[in-house]
């Protein structure tokens, strides 16, 4: 892999993602990993990330300078750029000219391998106090900014290069190109990380983990991650996998069919559906507090899943082999954990243990499951690409994120069957219109919310109405941690508003949520 050495930057994960966008496999590793740990990973190149500190500070995060003598290509970014400068004999100083945010990069000479044929001046995104004063010997300086006379350098013979700015952020519009040129033109790497290769190697790994006769179970939520994880495991072990889908009655229009028909048709997976709508709605009756709703749904979900797992175990994943399958224990649980979760829980260094997931997905206490997490090294866009590779339908693969508690947390007020029905209609209209306007790529998700406890006066036909408002909450985001409200075209909003007020009974008003996150969350509850 290309190892991104994390100096405590908020960007290490993003760098790894950008490397993979160049179709080269990349992992994040902590800066305090030992030389041996790094060598054991057999890195194709090292990328030193940015970091908060000055390289000369006492507590500055460090790496073993011997790393630079291994003959491995190195790319330094921001703090990493200064780190490699200091390690290779150049100088770094606090020049008193900090740069934060957008600045202008001026490419000098022919631009070298990194900046050749790119615009002579280009915006880049910076965040630094110290600056490189003199490049190490043998390195050519290829660009500068007002606050950083040495803003980029490279030494093709050593296969090393670096930039003071952050090429990984979108505010550096040529950043991805520059990073890609390092990988291809300086480090000499080939783009081999493709969906087909990823799928093939994951399937082989699953086979190795589950063995010749292990049985596995996978909870499907209707979302992308569990669907792709399930599909991979199905490819690997066939009918030794049983998928469990809990229909809690809080899903959107068409989602149950997507799982029951489309997923099964595309994968041939064995599926057990638990019909639990009445149970969930029964427990939710009279409850309007958001946290209370979430608790009830979480608890009932665990119960339903447990029940289904119990049946599968008792039946020995019924229908497997004819002989002794009845007594066989299901000992693997498939989960759709993604790489960002792994990195955030400290797993990026390869040393942190995964949390024991005993009650994730609601496992009975007395059942010992081993986890199969085929997506734990993938980012969301890679998961989608693998899903397409496996032949999953586009409706599943490009589906927007949808919360586990479903429509229950999009009804402000008590959840009832009638209100769910109404919200489902409004949500379907919004989705249909956004899709037909070609806007799916621009929005991260668009919750549609029913303000069931609010009424306002309207006039429809010749009469006065006293109905509920529907809120549209379209947001743009890269990871749901922060979000901005999406500037949808007025014409599209108009069609959605007209259709919802015409077609959904009891709704006489449509409003648009124009709050970013923070301060608002994406969901209303």
Contacts to ligand XMP by CB under 6 A: 401, 403-405, 445, 480, 517, 521-523
Shortest separation between residue 394's beta carbon and ligand XMP, angstroms: 20
Is 224 known as a binding-site position?
yes
CA distance 241 to 85: 52
CB nearer to ligand XMP: pick between 61 and 403: 403
Residue among 111 and 447 whose Cβ is closer to ligand XMP: 447
Please report how close the Cβ of residue 405 comes to ligand XMP at its closest, in angstroms: 5
Please, which residue, 145 or 445, has the CB nearer to ligand XMP?
A: 445
> Is the backbone of residue 484 left (phi > 0), alpha (psi -120 to 50) or beta?
beta
Report CA 298 to chain centroid distance, whole Å.
Answer: 22
Cβ of residue 523: shortest distance to ligand XMP, in angstroms? 3
Catalytic residue among 27, 31, 78, 446: 78
C-alpha closest to that of 409 among 522, 520, 515: 522
Query: Least distance in Å: CB of 221 to ligand XMP?
Result: 7
446 part of the active site: no
Whole-angstrom distance between the N-terminal and C-terminal Cα of the chain? Answer: 41
Which residue from 497, 457, 452, 454 is spatially nearest to 474, judged by alpha carbons? 497
Give the Cα separation of 511 and 497 in Å (integer).
8
Residue 172 and residue 166 in contact, taking contact as beta carbons nearer than 8 Å: yes
Q: Which of 27, 168, 255, 373 is catalytic?
A: 168
* Element holding 6 (H helix, E strand): strand 2-6
Q: Catalytic annotation on 166?
A: yes
223 is in an annotated binding site: yes
SS3 of 37, please?
A: helix
For ligand XMP, the closer of residues 276 and 408 by Cβ is 408
For residue 8, say whether it is annotated as part of any ligand binding site.
no
* 421 is annotated as an active-site residue: no
**Residue 459 and residue 470 in contact, taking contact as beta carbons nearer than 8 Å:** no
Q: How far is the CB of 525 from ligand XMP (least distance, A)?
A: 8
Q: What is the token pair recorded at 176?
A: 């991805």
226 is in an annotated binding site: yes
Chain centre distance of CA 512: 26
Q: How far is the CB of 281 from ligand XMP (least distance, A)?
A: 18
| Annotated binding-site residue? 227 | yes
Q: Using the minimum distance from each CB to ligand XMP, give the nearer residue, 315 or 404.
A: 404
Nearest to ligand XMP of 99, 225 (CB atom): 225
Phi, psi of 334 (to 5 degrees): -90, 130
| Cβ(48)–Cβ(134) below 8 Å | no
User: Is residue 319 marked as binding?
Assistant: no
Q: 166, 248, 283, 468: which is the annotated catalytic residue?
A: 166
The verdict on whether residue 222 carries a ligand-binding annotation is: yes
DSSP state of 322: S
Enclosing H/E stretch for 381: helix 380-389
Catalytic residues: 78, 166, 168
Annotated binding residues for ATP, written as ranges, equal: 221-227
Annotated binding residues, written as ranges, equal: 221-227
């Amino acid at each position: 892999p290309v190892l991104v050495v994390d100096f405590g930057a908020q960007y290490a994960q993003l760098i790894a993602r950008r490397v993979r966008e160049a179709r080269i496999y990349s992992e994040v590793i902590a800066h305090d990993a030992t030389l041996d740990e790094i060598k054991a990973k057999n890195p194709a190149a090292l990328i030193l990330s940015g970091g908060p500190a000055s390289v000369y500070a006492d507590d500055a995060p460090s790496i073993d300078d011997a790393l630079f003598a291994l003959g491995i290509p190195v790319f330094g970014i921001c703090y990493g750029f200064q780190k490699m400068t200091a390690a290779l004999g150049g100088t770094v100083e606090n020049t008193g000219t900090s740069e934060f945010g957008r600045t202008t990069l001026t490419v000098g000479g022919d631009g070298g391998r990194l900046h050749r044929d790119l615009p002579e001046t280009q915006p880049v995104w910076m965040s630094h106090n110290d600056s490189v004063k003199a490049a190490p010997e043998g390195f050519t300086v290829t660009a500068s900014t007002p606050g950083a006379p040495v803003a980029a350098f490279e030494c093709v013979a050593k296969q090393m290069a670096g930039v003071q700015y952050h090429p990984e952020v979108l505010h550096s519009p040529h950043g991805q190109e520059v990073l890609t040129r390092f990988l291809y033109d300086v480090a000499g790497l080939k783009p081999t990380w493709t969906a087909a290769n990823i799928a093939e190697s994951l399937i082989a790994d699953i086979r190795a983990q589950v063995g010749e006769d292990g049985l596995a179970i996978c909870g499907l939520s209707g979302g992308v991650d569990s669907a792709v994880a399930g599909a991979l495991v199905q490819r690997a072990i066939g009918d030794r996998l049983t998928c469990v889908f809990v229909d809690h009655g809080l899903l959107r229009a068409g989602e149950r069919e997507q799982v029951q028909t489309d997923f099964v048709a595309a994968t041939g997976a064995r599926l057990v559906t638990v019909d639990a709508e009445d149970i969930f709605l029964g427990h939710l009756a009279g409850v309007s507090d958001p946290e209370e709703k979430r608790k009830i749904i979480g608890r009932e979900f665990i119960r339903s899943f447990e029940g289904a797992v119990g049946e599968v175990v008792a039946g020995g994943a019924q229908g497997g082999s004819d002989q002794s399958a009845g007594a066989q224990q299901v000992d693997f649980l498939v989960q759709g954990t993604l790489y960002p979760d792994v990195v955030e829980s400290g797993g990026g260094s390869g040393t942190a243990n995964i949390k024991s997931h005993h009650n994730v997905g609601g496992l009975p206490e007395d059942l010992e499951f081993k986890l199969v997490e085929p997506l734990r090294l993938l980012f969301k866009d890679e998961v989608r690409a693998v899903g397409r590779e496996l032949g999953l339908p586009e409706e599943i693969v490009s589906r927007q994120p949808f919360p586990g508690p479903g429509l229950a947390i999009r009804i402000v007020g008590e959840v009832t069957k009638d209100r769910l029905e109404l919200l489902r209609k409004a949500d379907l209209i919004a989705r249909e219109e956004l899709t037909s306007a070609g806007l799916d790529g621009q929005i991260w998700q668009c919750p549609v919310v029913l303000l069931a406890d609010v009424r306002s006066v309207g006039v429809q036909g010749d009469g006065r109405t006293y109905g509920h408002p529907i809120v549209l909450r379209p947001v743009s985001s890269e990871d749901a941690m922060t979000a901005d409200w999406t500037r949808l075209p007025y014409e599209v909003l108009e069609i959605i508003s007209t259709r919802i007020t015409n077609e959904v009974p009891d709704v006489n008003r449509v409003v648009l949520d124009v709050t970013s996150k923070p301060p608002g969350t994406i969901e209303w509850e």
